[in-house]
Every structure is written in C-alpha cells, then in structure tokens.
Structure 1
Amino acid sequence: MQKTTLKSYFPILSWAGEYNRDVLFSDLLAALIVTIMLIPQSLAYALLAGLPPQMGLYASMLPLVAYGIFGTSRTLSVGPVAVVSLMTASAIGHIASAGSVSYIEAALLLAFLSGVFLLGMGLLRMGFLANFLSHPVIAGFITASGIIIAFSQLKYILGINAHGENLFALLHSLYASVANTNFYTVAVGLPTLIFLFWVRSGLKPLLVRTGLSDKAAAMLAKTGPVLGIIATSYAAYYFELGSKGVVLVGEVPTGLPSFQMPKLGHDAWRELMLSAVFISIIGFVESVSVGHTLAAKRRQRIVPNQELIGLGAANIAASFSGGYPVTGGFARSVVNFDAGAVTPAAGMFTAVGIAAAAMYFTPYLAYLPKATLAATIIVAVLSLVDFSILKKSWAYARSDFIAVVTTLVVTLIMGVETGVACGVFASLALHLYKTSVPHMAVVGEVPGTEHYRNINRHKVITHNHILSLRIDESLYFANAGFIEDKVYELVDACSDIQHVILMCTAVNEIDLSALEVLESINLRLKDSGIKLHLSEVKGPVMDVLAHTEFIKHLSGQVFLSHHLGIQKILAKQKSADTQKVQDWNI
C-alpha cells in the first residue's frame, strides 16, 4: 500500500523500472528534435514576456526535470508558452519597466506563487476547479490572446516603439509610430515572417519530394525557425545591421543559471497573487487538455490532481533557476509525441540539450535580430486563433456563443487579466443560468413498455388525473423557485389532477433550499386535495431525505420506479371506483 502511494506522488517510479535501450533511443531522438524547436521558442517567448532571452532558456531546463519526476503525462513538454508569457508581461508590466532588476524579480516571484498555488491545489485534490472554465470560454480567451500577441510583435517587425495591454491601445500606439518605421528592420522581419509561414505548409512537401519519409520530413520542417535564426543572424553580422537601427538581442550570458530563492518580500507580491492564480488556472487547463489528448492516442491516462503537483513543481523549479511561469505547450508536446517520445525522460534530455545550448550557443545570439524572434512568435500564435468556435457555439447553443463572444471581446478591449476574470465569471454564469432554468418535461408511458418520455416528442399514454413531471437537473437554491412555479403552473392548467409524481431520475442532489420548496409544494397540493409523489429517487438523495420531516409528511409515496407508481395509483383508483359501484348497488 505504501509503495502504491509513493508511486502516485512520484510517477517516475512507475516507468523508470521498465526503462530499456529501445526506449532510451526513442526518448533521445524526440529530445533532439524538441530541443532544436524549443531554443528559438524559448528566446522568443522571453522576449514576449519582456524578459532577457536567457530566461527563456532557463525556464526550459529545471522545470522539465521537475515535471518528469512528478507529472503523469508521458509526452507533455513543459516550458514557456505564448499565452502565459503574455499574461506574465501583463501582470508585471505595470510594476516595473521591462528587463529591469525589479521586473525580473517579479517574474521569479510570479513563477513561485504560481507553483505554490498549483502544488496546493494538487495536494488538496482540487483539480476539479479547472472545470469552471468551459472549453468555449478558453477558446475565446486564447483566440483573443493570440490576436493581441501577434499585434504586439509588429513593433519589432517595423522597428518602432509601441505599447499597450489591449488591442486598441496597441493599434493606436502602432499607428502613432508607424512613420518611424525602420526599413532595414522590415527587410529582416517581413521575409522571415513569410518564410516561416511557408515552412508550415510548404517545406514538408518539398522534403518529401527529395525522397524523405513523411515522418522525417515533418520533423525536419519543425526546424524552420532555426534556419531563420541562422540566416538573419549572419545577415545582421555581415551587413552590420545593428548600426542601421535594427534591434539585436545583444550579448547573452553564457552558462547555467544560478540557483537562488525568489524575493518573497517583493513590494508587489499582493498584486502578483491574483495574477498567479489566473496564470495557474489557464496554464493547467491548457496543459491538461493537451495531456488528455495525447494520452488517449496511446490508451494512456493522466491524473489531473497529480498534474497540478507536477506543474507546481515545474514552476517552483523555474523560480529557483532564473525562469518564469511555465506550463505544457501544445505545439512542443505534439512534436514530442510525433517524434516518438515514450517517457518523461525525453523532457529531461531536452533540458540537458537546452543547458548545452546555454553554455555553448549563446555567444552566437548577439547578432540575432529581435524581428526574427517576433516573426517566430507571430507564426506560432496565429495557429492559436480559431474563429470557428464562434460558428460552432452559435449553431450549438446561444448561451455558449454569448460566453465566447464576451470573453473574446473583453480580452481584446480590456486586456488578458480582465479577460481571464471575465472568462471565469462567464463560465460560472453560464453554469448557473443553465441549472437555474432546468429542463422539465411532462411524461407519459410509451405503449408496450415501462418507459416514460416527453409528451411533446412521443406518442405516449397519459392519465388526466395524474401529472407525471420529469426534472432533468439537481434541485438547489438557484432553481428551486423555478421548479415550484412550473409545478403550480401545470397543476392550475388542469382541474382534474389528483396526483403529481416528480420523476427524479436526473436529480443527484437536493439542498436545503430545494427541500423547503418541496415541503411548500407538498403542503399546497395537499390543501388542494392533490397528493405529491416521488419516483426513481437515487440512493444518496434518499439517504438524505430519510432523515428529514419531509418524507414523514409527504402526502403521497416514494416509488422505486415511475411505472410502478403509475400502476399502483391506477390500481388504487380502480379499487376505489369498484367500491363506489358496490356501495351504490347496495
């Protein structure tokens, strides 16, 4: 029992014992490919977060090792991602100027707070909280964030100064500065942008035509950003573009990060706390979504609560090793999966590859134009923009459409943090709305069966003196009043009703407010000469009701099945009618 518990908290123990040479080879190959992809991404996302480029590399080392020990996904690749990088910049942008010591300290603290929050949720088994953010809301938020990120990087493509936390502020700032466009920078950024867009769709077919296998061509096509970095860095060095106004990355410290405790006494820790919560929730939802998708393809599973612990450990590791908030990235994880990664060791080997790059590759980054990194970001985030969710939600449910549009518009107009808050509110409001106006159906017997269905959808048998009402939702304070009004409305519409049976097939819970409403319904119907019955009450609900006065004062009965209840009422009615005939004959 102790061994099982230990494995549940340290998933590495579940796969490390089965590790062999074949698995090692697969993981090493996947790590090599992901490392090549992750180097430009790490640098670019650090730029997006307003941090020195080396912090992107630092955030791709120790966090991968920590997740490999505590995470349950075999193929999830943890590190900096676009949306979390944007949220990091938004959270600490008003605290200090980008790149300053105070700004870096705030980023480290933000990673630590995110890690502690995630770890705490995992230990308390609170992974269910992420369910309060619906998929449509998340899709709307990510789409809006992708648009904001893409426009925020245009300043690097144009070589101008612009700023803003929302789309309109960015557009206004870009418009005001567009006259100062540096055409040398455009000459670097625009061709790189076009090349990277072409790489996504055109490089793979080209490689296949040269004789490479489909899989090999797909893997090599992922190295497109690296080619862009090499080409533009060489161009910047050869043509001395730095002296012509092209902004370069500049000198990047060589070596591994120093390990130090984040500054817990930072003046802005209270302001960062709420941002850490938002970043944690968004990161967790994105990570678990990717993890579930990839695990299902191999008939594996992930444990959401343990994923919280794994991501929490990764963020704490980032805070101690010079990084910033991280989570599971969709693009990297898919590449890791397609490259044949078998275990989280692939992520650990990737961390070693990133560490090697930090030790030996960084001197070559001095001539890297920031326009190249901006182009990398734009191409990456535009794949996140998905307007099809608007059409899908409109066709499926208007309430989901309203939630998507609200989140998307608020994020674009007011920024990412307000957008996240709006998304959480929209998700909760959507849930409350749907459950506060539950579907209720008058049902009748399907001829020749013991099944009961909606009288408006099926040809069924009904009885004038019996109202069979199915409630398709748990009963709680938000919908109790609606249910009460609906019962009275249906009873008042028919003067022949002598019995009301509430079919409770879908009722999983009845809270105290709903119980009081049931007592009120029972009393009012009893005064009108109508009996109230319940049918198909679930065991846990019945256990609670059994300890209340409601069951003792119920005017009718609780039936095991709805059909049985109808038959008993009809039999009793027939017996009563027969007795009346006998009395009349006498």
Structure 2
Amino acid sequence: MLSSSTPNQDSSLPSLTRSPQLRAASSLTYQSLDGKIGKKQTKELEPVSSLSDHLYGAIRDEEDADSVQSSTLQDSVNTTNSFTNIPHNLNDPNELSLKQRLRYYVPCCNWMDSYSFDYLMHDLIAGVSLASYQIPLSMSFATAVAHVQPICGLLGLVVAPTIYMFLGTVPQLIVGPEAAVSMIVGQCIEKTVKHNPDVSPIDLLIVLSSCSGAILLAFGLLRFGFIDNILCGSLLKAFITAIGLTMMINSSISILGLEGVLNNLPSSIHVHSPYQKVIFLLEYFSKYNKATTIIGTSSFLIILLLKSLKRLCVRHKVPLASFFPEILVVVVFATVLSALFDFKSHGISVLGKITIKGFKLKVPFTGATRLWYGELFPASFVCAILGFFETSTAGKSLSSSHMSMSSNRELVALGAVGLSVSMFGALPSFGGYARSKLNAMNGAYTPASGLFMGITTLLVTLYLLDYIYYLPICVLNAVIAIVGMSLLQESPKEVKFHLRTRGYNELFTFFITLAASFFYSIEMGVAIGSFYSLMRVVRHSTQSRIQIMARIAGTDTFVNSDFTDSQQPLHFMLPKRVVVKGYKEFRHQSMIGKRVAVGNPDPTFTSDDQTKLVPELEDREGCLIIKIPEPLTFTNASDMKSRLKRIELYGSAKAHPGSTQKKSKVRHIVFDLNGMTSLDSSAAQILADIVQSYKNRGISVFFCRLFRNRTLLGRLEDAGIQAMLEDFQIPTSDYNISQTYKPYYDRILDALKAIDYMECGPDSDVASYVSSMMPYDGSV
C-alpha cells in the first residue's frame, strides 16, 4: 500500500518536486509497486493445463503491463484521502532482458522451444483437415468474388499462415483470404478494369495487398492497437451484413449464367453497386442459362442440406461429423460430373487450365504499379481496417484468461502478412473466426497448424491443379452464396437487441452504413459509418462532466445535485433544495445527524421507510461547489468553461440558454478535483484563465481533494494557478483546517471553513463550532 501523509501533517511542507524526503519516499513507493507488479506477473506466468495457454501465457502487450501498474497504483491511492507523491515512470524498459524483448517482438519464440511430437501431430491433423475446407473456398473467393485467377487465392492460403506463424499472438487463429475483404477487392478491380481494359488485375491486386499491409504495419509500429475499440460493434455488423448481401447478389448473377450479359454491357452503363446489380437481375432475368442455373442451384441446395445434417449430427453428439468437408465433397462431385458429361459443351463455364508457369515474385511500390497507389488508397484503407476488425474479433473470441491478444503485435503481424502476399500476387489475408474456431475444434495448439495447412495447399497447387479443369464456375459461386448467407445470420439478432435496449444510435449506425453500402458501394458505407462513429466518440470526449455538489442534510456527504428526473435513482424522489448561510448551519446539522444515527437509532425505522425518504440537499449561500470527476484535456476543458458560465447564470449545467437567470450572485467557488488525475498544457491554460477571471471579478477560488502527482502539481505551479490560489489563503491554521499541501485543501468542508473565516473574520464564533468537530475520518 502506498504510504500517505496524515491529516495533521505540517501544512508548510516544501514542494513535492523538490523535497529530498519525498524523493526518498518515492523510491520506497517504486519498490512497493515493483514488488506488487512482480508478484502479479509471476502469477500470470504460471504453467497452465493446455499447451496453447502455457506457451502464450508469457505474451503480454506492453500496454497490459502499464494497465497492471495503473490499477495497482489507483487501488493504493483510492484507499486514502491524504496525498502521496506519485512517481512518473513505473515501467522501466531497461528491466527487460533481451530474451524477454525477443519473446514479445517475435512471439513464435514463446512456443518453439517447448514444441513436442505430440503437439506436432495435433497441429498436422488440424492443418490438413482445415485445408480440405479452405482450398475450394479460397479459389471461390479469388474467382467469384475478387475477379482474379484462382491461384491468387491458393497462394494467399500458402504464404499468409506461414508469416503469421512467426509473428502472430493468437495460437489457433488462421490467416487467409476473407470474404469481406475479397469482396472489396473485387468491387475495386471490377470498376477499375471496366474503365481501364489495359490494366492487369494482378497489378491492382498487388497494389491493394501491399498498401493495406503497409497501413497496418505503420499502425502497429505507432501502437494504434486501440482503434479496434473506437468503432462500435453495430458498425462492424453492418459491414458484414453489406458484404453478405453483396456476395449473394453477385453469386446470383453467376448462378443464373448472366455474367456474359453483364460483361457485354456498354461502358456507359454502370453496374457496380448492389442496388444496380439487383436492377440488372430484374431486367435481364429472362436471359438466364438453364443448365448453369440447374447446376448452381442444385449445388447450393446440396451444400445447405449437408450443413444441416452435419449440425444435426453434432447436436446428437457425433463428434466426427464436425470434420465432414461438405464443400469439398460438392466441389469434387461436381468436377467429376462435369468431366463425365462435358458440362462445357452445354454452355456451363468451367474453371479451365490453371498454371503457375512463368510465375515470378514482384516487389511492391515499384514499376508501373506505383501509378495506382493514390487511386486505390481508399479501398486499401478500408481493406486494412475491416480486415483488422475481423481479425481482432476472431482473436478475442479465441483468447483465454491466460492468453490475451496483443492488438499492436497483431497489427504488425497482419502488416507483414499483407506485404508478403503482395509479392506473390495473392489476395489480402486476415484472420477469420469460422475457420479459426474449426481449427481449435480440430485440436490445434499452435500457429504451426496454419503452416501445415499452407503446405497441404502448396502440394495441391503444384500437383493437383490439372484435375480441377472441369470445375464449374457456378459451383464456386454457390459456395460463395452459402458464405454470404452465413454472414447475414447475425443481423436480425443485432437489430432485435438494440431495439429492445433502445440503442437508437447503434441502430442508426447500422442502417446508414448498410444503406450506403447497398446503394453506392461498400467503401462509401464504411466511410460514412466510420465517420458517424468517430463523431460520436469525439462528441463524447469533448463533453465536460462537471457536477454541482450539495450536502445531504445531517451528514458530511456531498453529492451531485444537478440531475433530472430520468437520472434520479428509483428509490428516491427528487430532493428538496435548501440554501443555508454558512458553516455554522452545516456543522450543527451534521452533529445532530450523527447523534441520531449513532447515539439514538430508531428501532422502528425499516427498509420500507427508507425507500420513501425524500433527501434534503443543502447549498451554501453564495458558494458553488463544482466537482471535476475526470482528467482535463484540450478536448473537454473548453466545454467545462462554458458549462461553468451556465451554472453561474442559471444554476444548472443542463439549463437552456433561454432560461431565466438566477438572482443570487456567486462569491465563492470550490473545485473538488478528486477525479482530475491529469491535466494537459492546453487545459491548464484554460483553467488558469477561469481562475483569473473569477479573481478579477472578486470571486474567491478554492481547490480541494487534489489528486497529487508530480506532473499535475508541477503543471498547476507552472501555469500560475497555484500562485493565484495563494491569494485566497487564510492567515492562520488554528481552526483545524486540513491542508497537507498549501494552497490546496484536503476536504470540501475545509474549504467551506476557510470561506466562513473570510466572511466572518477571526473574531467570530466559528472557532466554537470548529472545536466541536469530530476527528477527521477521511470523508469529503
């Protein structure tokens, strides 16, 4: 526990920033905190039952260590109302050894030295099983969604898990081509190629992958891992819903055999948004290909049936059913039928010959591709943000109490993955929840399962591509339609929940994002939804939450008195407001209240009577007591200044500017700063202006319950606020006024006694009431 000063400590203590005694106490505080934090970290790093928990128990983001120290510090400070010298930097990076740093920056070092044959077999089985599901899916994403060659999806499934194995922090997370990001890539490529026929789709893909990877890598190096907490969940749900809807619409065009009609439309006719494609389907439905429609629809229904049977078997405790690859079965069966009955001769488009001959690595940000980075940057940014959100959602779902995901490390890992896959011309790759959950169910322990999945995919790419020549394109689109349908399943639950809880802001975010994505483009939906969410965050952060404090009659407790009916607790009616003249009345009623509560309790007073109480709140005449319950920054200090003016004029921060001004004038103002744990330079300037303005108008200002640390005290002194407050100090301390560090008061009551002294003078009878005070008990 942090040591603290006693209430009766000499008020003439030297400055905290200069006192050698306090510097010595500060060193003891360091040792105490280091001891506590060391014990907490040691406990977290104890071995646990599963390998994944054991191997990744040591991975902790650097901000997690900061939060441990902050919580330890705050718990210690909250146990005392006296003031303590809090040192600046509790997290000394020099204490970390090279091995510890290596384990943080290269996470694979945490599990490679403990890897065993048993875990190798588990990862191998999980990786091969997952490849049977992911290979046809990645080919579908490339061909039917991103409008590039199938090899781009397969290479993404090979390269991305390999890179993530070394840099990822979630052991069972599988990184690869994702439906949502592939859809954004496909829309961008389709629109660009439509108006620039000479450009290569692979070059555009390299630009999108490398640019999104560079964005994520920069965010990781700048420690922007907090961005996954900024945008609300309804925004992400709207993204996913728009993606699923777009995938189903695009797949319907291919299943009906209308791709040729769409490609042959004049360049003056733009069919890019989902809404425009729905109009296209309605206008050209009569030109559908009968054979393609039968094969595509049949594949769609068979996959649905197999998935339903699979869920039914799992529900009836048939564990092996979860390993059944229904997509692979349908793809193989359709390919065999296509080869036997020559589907191509019946007008059904097939995948054709896929080759990797002539393939060579390409370095991003060089050559002709540099011309496209500016134009494709918005789409790349959307891919990066959406991919990180999906990865973060999947990673947090798979994390345990001993295995937390590091957002900053994940940004670096995904950035490295994006730059790596761009060199191979592969699809942007991110973590996916469904396949990662399946990977965990298959028994995977470490990211090596992703490596084995990549090796299996590479073997298929090298030796088995010739056998999928006859795979019908409409079957791949049926797979995409199934994926799109699965993305829509969470939307009704999301809408229903926010309707039930009256979350109208979340509903507005959801529908405006979905509408913009449907009628214009997914990029526009992302931009509008993100802008609205960020405006909500900015508005919330710029609002000051200062409170008008009043004393509950008969107690020494001060509470917020500036509330409305909707904010009042259910067991209280609106309290009655009473204005009293000075400290005499405050102290008199407080003593009476304590005698009644302690000396002569009423045995007939029941809890039912308590719910009927109407509390009486007392205000000091001519005095405002303002609580600042939050750190002051440049974002909320200006709003606090305007709210203080409104309180002074109308008596409430919530009053309308057109309300009638109150007649009583303010002579004193007391600031309760218990919650103001930090103060930036801009806020200090505004606070100094406020104090100077009050001083110029003859209003005395008092600061009490200051949360003291070296930075905060130094900033108040450097801004000149401390010097201005010294003008309102009383010349004597004979009235039991607690000031551990002048000119700041320990309690609100201490400031009120100083006000009484200023108004009544030293010859008044204030001392008689002061002498009857109970000893300091730590209350406000």
Equivalent in 391, 405, 411 of residue 511 of structure 2: 405
Matches within 5 A, 1:334-345: 334-345=437-448
Deviates more, 1:384-393 or 1:402-411: 384-393
Q: Shift in Å at residue 407 of structure 1?
A: 2.1
Cα distance in 1 between the residues matched to 2:669 and 2:505: 32
> Could you say what secondary structure the match of 1:95 adopts?
helix
1:151 aligns with 2:253: no
Cα distance in 1 between the residues matched to 2:471 and 2:438: 25
> Could you say what secondary structure the match of 2:718 adopts?
coil
Equivalent in 155, 159, 177 of residue 58 of structure 1: 155
Query: Is 1:78–1:328's contact at 8 Å kept on the other side of the alignment?
Result: yes
Q: Shift in Å at residue 565 of structure 1?
A: 2.9
Cα distance in 2 between the residues matched to 1:535 and 1:201: 66
Q: Shift in Å at residue 34 of structure 1?
A: 1.1
1:114 aligns with 2:212: yes
Equivalent in 254, 263, 271 of residue 375 of structure 2: 271
> Could you say what secondary structure the match of 2:487 adopts?
coil
Deviates more, 1:5-14 or 1:122-131: 122-131
> Could you say what secondary structure the match of 2:349 adopts?
coil
Equivalent in 173, 176, 179 of residue 76 of structure 1: 173
Cα distance in 1 between the residues matched to 2:327 and 2:215: 34
Aligned match of 1:244: 346
Deviates more, 1:226-235 or 1:537-546: 537-546
Query: Is 2:175–2:429's contact at 8 Å kept on the other side of the alignment?
Result: yes
Q: Shift in Å at residue 57 of structure 1?
A: 0.5
Matched AA of 1:238: L
Matched AA of 1:201: S
Aligned match of 1:34: 130
1:389 aligns with 2:491: no
Matched AA of 1:174: L
Cα distance in 2 between the residues matched to 1:99 and 1:33: 40
Deviates more, 1:446-455 or 1:531-540: 446-455
Q: Shift in Å at residue 120 of structure 1?
A: 2.7
Matched AA of 1:6: L
Aligned match of 1:484: 641
Q: Shift in Å at residue 294 of structure 1?
A: 0.3
Query: For residues 398 and 60 of structure 1, do their structure 2 counterparts lie closer, same or farther at Cα, with a shift above 3 Å needed?
Result: same
TM-score where L is the length of structure 1: 0.89
Name whichever structure is richer in helix by fraction: 1
1:198 aligns with 2:284: no
Query: Is 1:256–1:359's contact at 8 Å kept on the other side of the alignment?
Result: no
Q: Shift in Å at residue 126 of structure 1?
A: 2.8
Cα distance in 2 between the residues matched to 1:582 and 1:55: 89
Cα distance in 2 between the residues matched to 1:20 and 1:369: 43
Cα distance in 1 between the residues matched to 2:272 and 2:510: 20
Aligned match of 1:378: 481
1:531 aligns with 2:692: no
Equivalent in 192, 201, 226 of residue 128 of structure 1: 226
1:572 aligns with 2:677: no
Deviates more, 1:285-294 or 1:61-70: 285-294
Matches within 5 A, 1:265-344: 265=367, 266=369, 267-296=371-400, 299-344=402-447
1:442 aligns with 2:560: no
> Could you say what secondary structure the match of 1:302 adopts?
coil
Identity %: 25
Deviates more, 1:539-548 or 1:168-177: 539-548
Cα distance in 1 between the residues matched to 2:474 and 2:627: 62
Q: Shift in Å at residue 43 of structure 1?
A: 0.7
Query: For residues 182 and 506 of structure 1, do their structure 2 counterparts lie closer, same or farther at Cα, with a shift above 3 Å needed?
Result: farther
Cα distance in 1 between the residues matched to 2:706 and 2:106: 41
Aligned match of 1:420: 526
Query: For residues 81 and 506 of structure 1, do their structure 2 counterparts lie closer, same or farther at Cα, with a shift above 3 Å needed?
Result: farther
Deviates more, 1:33-42 or 1:229-238: 229-238
Query: For residues 447 and 436 of structure 1, do their structure 2 counterparts lie closer, same or farther at Cα, with a shift above 3 Å needed?
Result: same
Aligned match of 2:326: 224
Cα distance in 1 between the residues matched to 2:198 and 2:469: 19
Cα distance in 1 between the residues matched to 2:703 and 2:754: 17
Q: Shift in Å at residue 152 of structure 1?
A: 1.6
Query: Is 2:184–2:523's contact at 8 Å kept on the other side of the alignment?
Result: yes
Query: Can you list the C-alpha shifts for 1:224-278, whole angstroms capped at 9, x where unaligned?
Result: 1112212222232333222222221112226896434347222312212332222
Aligned residues: 577
Query: Is 1:27–1:341's contact at 8 Å kept on the other side of the alignment?
Result: yes
Q: Shift in Å at residue 328 of structure 1?
A: 0.7
Cα distance in 2 between the residues matched to 1:469 and 1:396: 32
Q: Shift in Å at residue 437 of structure 1?
A: 3.0
Q: Shift in Å at residue 508 of structure 1?
A: 5.2
Equivalent in 521, 529, 535 of residue 690 of structure 2: 521
Query: For residues 204 and 401 of structure 1, do their structure 2 counterparts lie closer, same or farther at Cα, with a shift above 3 Å needed?
Result: closer
Cα distance in 2 between the residues matched to 1:435 and 1:40: 47
Query: Is 1:75–1:343's contact at 8 Å kept on the other side of the alignment?
Result: yes
Query: Is 1:117–1:280's contact at 8 Å kept on the other side of the alignment?
Result: yes
Cα distance in 1 between the residues matched to 2:248 and 2:703: 57
Matched AA of 1:341: A
Cα distance in 1 between the residues matched to 2:520 and 2:667: 57
Query: For residues 270 and 39 of structure 1, do their structure 2 counterparts lie closer, same or farther at Cα, with a shift above 3 Å needed?
Result: same
Q: Shift in Å at residue 330 of structure 1?
A: 1.6
Cα distance in 2 between the residues matched to 1:253 and 1:154: 28
Bigger radius of gyration, 1 or 2? 2
Q: Shift in Å at residue 408 of structure 1?
A: 2.2
> Could you say what secondary structure the match of 2:625 adopts?
strand
Query: For residues 168 and 21 of structure 1, do their structure 2 counterparts lie closer, same or farther at Cα, with a shift above 3 Å needed?
Result: same
Gaps of 5+ in 2: 1-96, 264-270, 570-614, 652-661, 730-737, 767-780
Deviates more, 1:383-392 or 1:353-362: 383-392
Query: Can you list the C-alpha shifts for 1:282-323, whole angstroms capped at 9, x where unaligned?
Result: 211221221122012x63122222112211221222122231
Matched AA of 1:138: L
Equivalent in 94, 101, 112 of residue 16 of structure 1: 112
Query: For residues 523 and 548 of structure 1, do their structure 2 counterparts lie closer, same or farther at Cα, with a shift above 3 Å needed?
Result: closer
